[in-house]
Every structure is written in structure tokens, then in C-alpha cells.
């Protein structure tokens, strides 16, 4: 019989893996790096190379690209390791930027603010008639509330990743027509990608250009980011030259296709480390890029990175950025980006003037971009970076592999002994049998709703059923195998029990009866089985 331990472990492991998400090596390849060796400070080009190369060698990360700047100077721009095609990563390797894109959307909106075309306190419907929701309170949502995730929209009310992906920003706004709010606008913070879909569509309608064209003309162009584009869907990210990313399985990177999804405005940028260096320089140079092009006033740049603070909803959320005050460590303005097969992170350290961007070809379940960036921040602060999480994830996957093997063996045993179980259960009171079925039922239910179990641990974010595999493939596999094992064993037992009960019934022939000797023998046998 499958043990209660086997029943409970996949569910517990799912929770453990979710917490790990929230919180053989590939040799590094040269990347024709760009750097300024004359920049002073603890985070030198040599220090960046040494740390990132060591990280790639000691983790399951196949490859990453990194940009480090200080003030208006480049410290290091380079690629490390390889992509899923085996090609060396370079400073100009196209990479998905995921939610790092939000800071660019925030800046695009501020460009229109400085043009006088709209205001952050304007209600969205003043400029975007097509923005309608089922909740009448949506008419009071302001432009600024979209950018700080305080609009009242939430994944718990509109599960955007579980919805069919729209083809464009207009469709992304249209699909909100049936959605409700979870709070009055401005009252609560809920991270929700459709806030930025609406903001990007607002840019399109107000400017009269597509969102991609507006970014090309007003942001990427002035900064010289010639290899950066903004696209609509996951498929278009890879059509733009990004190699397929990876998930981690048993301590190894496995290349896999990204699930279909809509990104533009919230996570649709494709960029390079070289281009991200230009972005970081503009951020630390009052909105002026390395070639002298200005994308925003110095005041506008400061506004984009200023969060409400205090006890306000989203007190750490700026316009596409998150802020970390001095009370929590080195002051930092940053934002991460996560997809299922690739991740990104960019950060500014106001006190030291460093800017850092990391683009990695592993997904959310591994979190390499975040780990690398925070390691580089630690180096900039003169501290020791934390070790990669690979050993922990490998240990979890190994435990799940053992659990899968044990589950299969116990399932085979359960099927083989189904007849004995039926004989023992036939005369047992139902209230003694039913509780023994509960562990299997729990596992089978958990296998149907693992995404619902993960969602609360992910802050209420929408996690579709199939996407759980991308996050925790070992746990997902163990849970599915356990559920199938219980279903098979329970089905076989049910069939054997029905047959066993039917075999005991009298034949019902007229004038017939059950021979006394057989009845006594059968009763004795059942009595003995009941005593087992």
C-alpha cells in the first residue's frame, strides 16, 4: 500500500519548491567584451569577469550577458558561457528582458508627460476610451496608478496568464472588459502585468504610433540602443533572435520552448548587454545617453525612480522600478524580470554610481539573473556574494527522483496485492476503510490544482497548471506520478473488491442453498482474513 509519507511528500515539496523560487558546469566562452579599465572602484572589469565566470562554472547556468557601468563610463560589458545552440554568449547576444521592460514603459509615459500630452494624475479613460472593465471603479484609475500597480487590478481577479494571449496591445486592453477590481484605485498594491499593457496602449493612442515605433524614435534611438526592440508575444521574442532558454532538471540545464504569452509593455523587450549599458549610463547621467542623446529631463529621470514611501500602497514601487531604502541595506533602485526560460535584472546604486544589468538564459525556477546581480551588488559593496542555489535545487530534484522511484515500486506492490486488500476490506466497516483512502485523494486533488497551491506562495500571481512544470519540474513530475499511481491502485482495488463481494453472494437458484460445509469453510476463511 502507498504510504502516507509518499502521499504527503509531493505536496510539501511543492510548497518548499515555491519558497525556493521566491527567494555539470558549462565552460565560459570569451565575448569580445567592452570595458573601461580606468574606472576606479571595487567592481572592476577583472572582478566582474572572475565572479561571473566562477558562477557559470559552479551553477547550472549555461550563459549570461552582463553590463556594469559607473556614472557615464562602462566598467564591463561581456557575455559568458553559451546559448542553447552552443554559440558563445557575447555583449551583443540578443536576450529577453522580461519585466525589465517596465522601466522603459514608465519612461515612455513620462516622455508624453513632458510633452504635455497627458499627466500622471489624469484618469486613464480621459485618453483611452477603449479602456473599460466590468467594475465601474475602473473609470477612476489614473495613469500613475497603472505604473505603480495600485490601480486595483490584480491576478486574483483577472488571471491573465491563464487567458488566451491577445495578438496586440489593443486586444490586451479589450480582454479586460469583463474583469473586476479587488480594491478601490490607489488603495492597495497588486503587481499585475495588465497595468503595463494598458499603459503601453495609452502611449500608442496618445502618440499616434505603435508602442514599438514610439520606443524606437523616443527612447532606443536617442540612446543608440540599435539592437533593442519591443515585441508583442513570446513567439516574437525568439523570432527576434533570442535562443531558446532553459529550465533546471537534476542540476542540468534543459533547453525548452517558452509557453505562449502576451508581453508587450510589461515584458516584451529584446535587448543586448551593450544596449543595456547605454540605458544604465542615461539613468546615471540625468537622462543623457553616451552619445549625447537625451530621453528625459533629469527631473523626469528622478521622478521615474521615486516611490511613494511611508505607509502608502506600493510604497517601494516607482514607475517601472522598485526602491530599497538605506534601512534595508545599500540604497538601490532595481527591477527584475522573469519568464519561464529566461530572466533579467537591472539595478542602480545611487551612492556609488554603479549601474548593473544581467540577462540570463535560465528561467524563473532557477533565478540566476537575480542571484548574479545581487552578487555583483555585494562586490560593489565590498562584501562576499552568496553561493548559487544549484546544490539546493539539485538536492530537491534528487529527492523527487527517489520519491518517484519509490512511488512506482509501491504502486506495483499495491496492484499485486489488490486481491488480498479486497478480501481484507470486504467485511471491514466503511468508517475504517475510508480514512485510509484520504492520502491518495489529497494527492490526486493536488495534482489537479498545483497552480492553485503555488499561487498564494507567489503573492497571488497567476500560475497556469502546465506552467508549474517549468518552475519545479522535479516536484511536478513526482506529484503527477504519485497521483497516477494512486488512481491505478485505487481502480484495481475497486475492481477486485467488486468481484470479491460478488463472489460471496448466493447463486439465487430456486430451491438451492449454500452447502453447509462450504459456508463454514468460507466463513472460517473470511474470519481468518479479518484477523490479519
Residue written as grid cell 508602442: 211
List b or e across 78-106, with b for residues whose CB sees 16 or more CB atoms inside 10 angstroms: bbbbbbbeeebbbbbbbbbbbbbbbbbbb
Per mean pLDDT, which range of 264-278, 389-403, 478-492 is the poorest? Answer: 389-403
User: Which sign does the torsion angle of CA 186, 187, 190, 194 carry?
Assistant: negative
Residue 97 has pLDDT above 70, yes or no: yes
pLDDT (0 to 100) of residue 3: 44
φ, ψ at 445 (rounded to 5°): -65, -45
Mean pLDDT of 360-367: 90
Q: What is the pLDDT of residue 507?
A: 58
Using a cut of 0.85, tell me whether the model's pTM lies above it: no
pLDDT at 4: 45
At 5 the pLDDT is 42
Q: CA 125, CA 512: separation in Å to the nearest integer?
A: 85
Distance between CA 523 and CA 41 in Å, rounded?
Answer: 88
For 500, residues 6+ apart whose C-beta sits below 8 A from its C-beta are 419, 422, 423, 426
What confidence tier does 357 reach under pLDDT thresholds 50, 70, 90? very high
As a whole number of Å, the CA-based R_g of the chain is 29
CATH superfamily of 31-114+198-388: DD-peptidase/beta-lactamase superfamily (3.40.710.10)
| The C-alpha cell that represents 442 in the structure block | 489529497
C-alpha separations of 335 from 104, 225, 323 in Å: 11, 19, 9
- The answer, yes or no, to whether residue 270 has pLDDT greater than 50, is yes
Q: Which residues contact 405 (CB under 8 A, 6 or more apart)?
A: none
Name, in order, each residue with C-beta under 8 angstroms of 274's C-beta and a sequence gap of 6 or more: 34, 67, 77, 91, 92, 227
Please tell me what DSSP assigns to residue 216: I
Mean pLDDT of 61-72: 98
Strands 322-324 and 332-338: antiparallel
What is the number of other CB atoms lying within 10 angstroms of the CB of residue 117? 15
Mean per-residue pLDDT for 486-504? 91
Q: For residue 467, what pLDDT band results from cuts at 50, 70 and 90?
A: confident
pLDDT score of 267 more than 80: yes
**Beta-carbon count within 10 A of 229 CB:** 19
Mean pLDDT of 101-118: 99
Residue 532: predicted pLDDT: 36
Give the pLDDT confidence of 10-64 residue by residue, as tens digits: 444 444 444 444 333 333 343 344 555 556 789 999 999 999 999 999 999 999 9
Cβ neighbors of 139 (< 8 A, separation 6 or more) are 123, 125
Distance of CA 248 to the CA centre of its chain: 13
Q: What is the mean pLDDT of residues 177-193?
A: 97
State the distance between the two ends of the chain, measured CA to CA, in whole angstroms.
15
Condensed to tens digits (0 to 9), the pLDDT of residues 115-128 reads 999 999 999 999 99
Confidence class of residue 311 from pLDDT cuts 50, 70 and 90?
A: confident
**Residue 476 host element (H or E):** helix 473-504
272 pLDDT more than 80: yes
Task: Report the range of poorest mean pLDDT among 37-51, 110-124, 271-285, 326-340.
Answer: 37-51
For residue 510, name the pLDDT band (cuts at 50, 70, 90): very low
DSSP string, 45-72: HHHHHHHHHHHHHHSS--EEEEEEEETT
Which pLDDT score is estimated for 430?
82
What's the pLDDT score for residue 462? Answer: 84
Highest mean pLDDT among 124-128, 452-456, 484-488, 523-527: 124-128
3-state SS string for 319-363: CCCEEECHHHCCCEEEEEEECCCCEEEEEEECCCCEEEEEEECEC
Interior CA angle at 345 toward 85 and 197, to 5°?
95
Domain ranges across the chain:
31-114+198-388, 391-530
CB of 132 closer than 8 Å to CB of 177: yes
Q: Are 48 and 28 in contact (CB under 8 A)?
A: no
| Percentage of the chain exceeding pLDDT 90 | 67
If one compares 23 and 226, the residue with the highest pLDDT of the two is: 226
- Predicted pLDDT at 172: 98
| Mean pLDDT (the chain, rounded) | 87
pLDDT confidence of residue 38:
57
Question: What pLDDT does residue 274 have?
Answer: 99
* pLDDT for 203 beyond 50: yes
The secondary structure element, H or E, covering residue 97 is strand 95-98
Looking at residue 296, its pLDDT comes to: 98
Contacts from 157-163 at CB under 8 Å and sequence distance 24+? Answer: 157/181, 157/182, 158/192, 158/194, 159/462, 159/464, 160/192, 160/193, 160/194, 160/262, 160/462, 161/261, 161/462, 161/463, 161/464, 161/467, 162/462, 162/464
Nearest Cα residue to 364 out of 33, 111, 96, 43: 96
Quick one: average pLDDT of 496-505?
A: 85
State percent of the chain over pLDDT 70: 87
513: pLDDT strictly greater than 70: no
Amino acid at each position: 500500500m502507498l504510504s502516507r509519507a509518499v502521499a504527503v511528500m509531493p505536496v510539501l515539496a511543492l510548497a518548499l519548491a515555491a519558497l525556493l523560487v521566491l527567494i555539470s558546469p558549462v565552460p565560459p566562452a570569451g565575448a569580445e567584451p567592452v570595458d573601461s579599465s580606468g574606472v576606479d572602484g571595487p567592481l572592476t572589469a577583472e572582478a566582474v569577469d572572475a565572479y561571473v565566470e566562477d558562477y557559470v562554472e559552479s551553477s547550472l547556468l549555461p550563459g549570461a550577458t552582463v553590463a556594469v557601468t559607473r556614472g557615464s563610463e562602462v566598467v564591463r560589458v561581456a557575455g559568458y558561457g553559451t546559448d542553447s545552440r552552443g554559440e558563445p554568449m557575447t555583449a551583443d547576444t540578443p536576450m529577453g528582458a522580461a519585466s525589465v521592460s517596465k522601466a522603459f514603459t514608465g519612461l515612455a509615459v513620462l516622455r508624453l508627460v513632458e510633452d504635455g500630452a497627458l499627466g500622471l494624475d489624469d484618469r486613464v479613460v480621459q485618453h483611452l476610451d477603449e479602456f473599460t472593465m466590468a467594475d465601474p471603479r475602473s473609470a477612476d484609475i489614473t495613469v500613475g496608478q497603472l505604473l505603480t500597480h495600485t490601480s486595483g487590478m490584480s491576478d486574483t481577479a483577472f488571471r491573465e496568464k491563464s487567458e488566451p494571449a491577445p495578438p496586440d496591445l489593443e486586444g490586451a486592453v479589450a480582454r479586460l472588459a469583463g474583469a473586476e477590481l479587488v480594491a478601490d484605485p490607489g488603495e492597495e498594491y497588486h503587481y499585475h502585468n495588465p497595468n503595463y499593457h494598458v499603459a503601453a496602449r495609452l502611449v500608442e493612442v496618445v502618440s499616434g504610433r505603435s508602442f514599438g515605433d514610439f520606443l524606437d524614435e523616443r527612447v532606443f534611438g536617442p540612446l543608440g540602443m540599435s539592437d533593442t526592440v519591443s515585441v508583442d508575444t513570446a513567439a516574437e521574442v525568439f523570432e527576434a533572435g533570442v535562443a531558446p532558454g532553459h529550465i533546471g532538471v537534476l542540476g542540468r540545464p534543459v533547453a525548452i520552448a517558452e509557453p505562449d504569452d502576451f508581453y508587450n509593455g510589461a515584458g516584451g523587450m529584446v535587448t543586448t548587454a551593450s544596449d543595456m549599458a547605454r540605458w544604465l549610463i542615461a539613468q546615471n547621467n540625468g537622462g543623457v545617453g553616451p552619445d549625447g542623446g537625451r530621453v528625459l529631463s533629469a527631473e523626469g529621470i528622478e521622478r521615474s525612480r521615486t516611490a511613494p514611501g511611508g505607509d502608502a500602497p506600493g510604497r517601494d514601487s516607482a514607475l517601472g522600478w522598485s526602491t530599497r531604502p538605506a534601512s534595508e541595506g545599500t540604497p538601490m533602485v532595481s527591477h527584475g524580470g522573469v519568464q519561464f526560460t529566461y530572466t533579467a535584472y537591472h539595478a542602480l546604486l545611487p551612492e556609488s554610481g554603479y549601474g548593473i544589468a544581467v540577462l540570463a538564459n535560465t528561467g524563473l525556477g532557477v533565478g540566476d539573473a537575480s542571484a548574479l546581480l545581487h552578487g555583483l551588488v555585494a562586490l560593489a559593496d565590498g562584501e562576499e556574494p552568496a553561493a548559487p542555489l544549484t546544490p539546493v535545487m539539485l538536492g530537491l530534484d534528487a529527492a523527487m527522483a527517489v520519491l518517484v522511484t519509490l512511488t512506482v515500486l509501491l504502486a506495483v506492490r499495491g496492484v499485486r496485492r489488490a486481491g488480498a486488500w479486497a478480501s481484507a476490506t470486504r467485511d471491514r466497516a466503511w468508517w475504517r476503510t475510508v480514512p485510509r483512502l484520504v492520502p491518495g485523494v489529497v494527492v490526486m486533488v493536488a495534482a489537479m490544482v498545483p497552480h492553485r497551491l503555488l499561487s498564494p506562495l507567489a503573492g497571488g500571481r497567476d500560475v497556469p497548471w502546465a506552467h508549474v512544470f517549468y518552475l519545479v519540474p522535479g516536484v511536478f513530475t513526482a506529484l503527477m506520478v504519485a497521483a497516477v499511481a494512486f488512481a491505478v491502485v485505487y481502480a484495481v482495488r475497486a475492481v477486485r473488491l467488486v468481484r470479491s463481494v460478488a463472489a460471496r453472494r448466493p447463486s439465487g437458484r430456486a430451491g438451492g442453498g449454500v452447502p453447509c460445509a462450504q459456508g463454514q469453510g468460507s466463513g472460517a476463511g473470511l474470519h481468518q482474513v479479518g484477523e490479519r
